[in-house]
Amino acid sequence: MATFRKIGVLTSGGDAPGMNACVKAVVHRAKEQGIEVVGINGGYAGLIKGDLVDLTSEKVANIIGEGGTVLYTSRCPEFKTEEGIGTAVKTCRDNGIDALICIGGDGTFRGATDMTFHGVPSIGVPGTIDNDITATDYTIGLDTSINTAARLIDNLRDTNESHDRCGVVELMGNECGQIALYAAIASGAVACAIPERPFDEDAVIRRIFARRAAGTRSTIVVVAEGLKTPEGTPYSEAFYKKIKALGIQAKFFRAAHVIRGGRPTVRDRVTAARMGNRAVECLVNGESNLVVCEEDGKITTMDIAFALIADRMYKNKLKEGDLDRFTPEQIDRMKAICEKRRTEIAALYATVEHIAQ
C-alpha cells in the first residue's frame, strides 16, 4: 500500500468522449481513500506551466455526460525534452502532487512512463476514439465516435437515395481502421477501405456499378483517414475523384472532428468510470507505470513499457533492441496480443464484405 496525500489527473492528445467520466471516477475513488485530486489543465503542457485546478466531488458532480474534456488537452512537443520533463516533475514537487493519472493515447503513456522514471508514479488510462492501442481491446471514446459516424452516414444516405448518388465518407482513426469498419457495418456500406487491409478498388467499382444497374440508388463507401495513396495523399479523395471520372454521381464527405465530440454513450461512460476507479486503486496498491486495459470484458492492467512495445510490434515499428529486455514468454505474449488484434480486424472486415453482398 502506498500513502498518497494528493494525486494529479490530466487528459492529453486528442480528446475523447468519456474522458470526463473518467476524471469524475478518479476524483470520487480518490476521495474515498482520503486522497485529494488536482486537475492539470491542458495535458502535459499544463503540467509544465503549473496550470492546476483543485477537483472536488462538487466540481465534477455533473460532468459525466459531457463531451470533450473539462481539463482541456494539448499535444506537447516540449514534454519530450529532458528540460520539459524536469519542469513537469518540479510542478509536482512544488504542489505536493505525489502521483499522476494520465488519460490519452500512446503519446500520453510515454509521458506517464517518463514521469514514473523521474520519481512521480503514474498510471495511463486509454482515452482516444481511434481504439489504436494494441494492448487494450477498447479505448474510451470509440463507441461514441462510431455511433456519431453511423448517424451522420444515415443522414447522408437519405439524401443520396433521393438524388441517386454514391457517398464517399472519410472517417478519422489515425493509422487504425476500426472506426471506419464499425461505421461501415452499422451503415450498410458497400465497402470499407482501411490501412490494415489491401483494398480491391476495381472490384468495389464493379460492385457499385452492379448495384446501380440493379436499381439501388444510394451507395456508401467508407474510407479510413489513415489510408493514403502512394503519393501520401488521402485515398478517400482519390477514390472519390476516380468514381466521378467514371461517371458515377458522387459526393465526398469528411466527417473529421465532428465524430470526436458529443455526449459520450453509456458504453464510454461506464468503461471510463471503471478504468478511472482502477487507476486510483493501482496507485493506492503501490503500483505504477501501468496502463489500464480492457481484456475480454474485464478491466486489467499491463506494464506501460510492455504495452508500448507490443503496440510497436503490431504496427511493424519495432526498433533495434526494443525486445532485448523482454523474456521469450513476454515476447510470445506480445505476439498473441498482436494476433488477437489482427483477428479482430479481419473479422470486422469480413462482416463489411458479407453485409455488402
Give me the active site residues, please.
130
Q: How far is CA 170 from CA 9, 99, 236, 282, in A?
A: 33, 39, 6, 39
Greatest CA span in the chain, whole angstroms? 70
Per rule CB under 6 A, is residue 294 in the interface with ligand F6P? no
In the bound state with ligand F6P, the residue whose beta carbon lies nearer, of 128 and 187, is 128
- Which of residues 24, 110, 165, 260 is near ligand F6P by CB under 6 A? 260
User: How far apart are CB 73 and ligand F6P at their closest, in Å?
Assistant: 9
Q: Which one of the spans 123-131, 197-205, 215-223, 296-304 is the region binding ligand F6P (CB under 6 A)?
A: 123-131
In the bound state with ligand F6P, the residue whose beta carbon lies nearer, of 66 and 281, is 66
Return the bridge partners of 103, or none.
11, 125
In the bound state with ligand F6P, the residue whose beta carbon lies nearer, of 265 and 277, is 265
CB 317 within 8 A of CB 309: no
In the bound state with ligand F6P, the residue whose beta carbon lies nearer, of 14 and 124, is 14
Residue 169: DSSP 8-state: E
Report the chain's terminal Cα–Cα distance, integer Å: 57
Per rule CB under 6 A, is residue 14 in the interface with ligand F6P? yes
In the bound state with ligand F6P, the residue whose beta carbon lies nearer, of 170 and 294, is 170
- Which of residues 8, 68, 173, 195 is near ligand F6P by CB under 6 A? 173
How far is it, in rounded angstroms, from Cα 191 to Cα 199?
9
Mask of contacts with ligand F6P, 40-69, x by CB under 6 A?
A: ------------------------------
Q: At what angle do helices 19-32 and 266-284 cross, to 10 degrees?
A: 40
Mask of contacts with ligand F6P, 126-155, x by CB under 6 A?
A: --xxx-------------------------
- Tell me the residue type at 332: D
Q: What cell numbers appear for 277 in the block?
A: 476507479
Q: How far is CA 236 from CA 20, 135, 199, 240, 242, in A?
A: 32, 28, 12, 6, 10
User: How far apart are CB 186 and ligand F6P at their closest, in Å?
Assistant: 18
Per rule CB under 6 A, is residue 174 in the interface with ligand F6P? yes
Q: Which one of the spans 33-41, 156-164, 166-174, 194-202 is the region binding ligand F6P (CB under 6 A)?
A: 166-174
Chain centre distance of CA 230: 26
CB 112 within 8 A of CB 82: no
Strand 219-224 relative to strand 166-171: parallel, antiparallel, unpaired?
Answer: parallel
In the bound state with ligand F6P, the residue whose beta carbon lies nearer, of 174 and 288, is 174
User: How far apart are CB 126 and ligand F6P at their closest, in Å?
Assistant: 11
User: How far apart are CB 101 and ligand F6P at their closest, in Å?
Assistant: 19
Per rule CB under 6 A, is residue 100 in the interface with ligand F6P? no
- φ, ψ (nearest 5 deg) of residue 5: -95, -40
Residues that bind ligand F6P in the complex, under the rule CB under 6 A: 14, 105, 128-130, 172-174, 225, 260
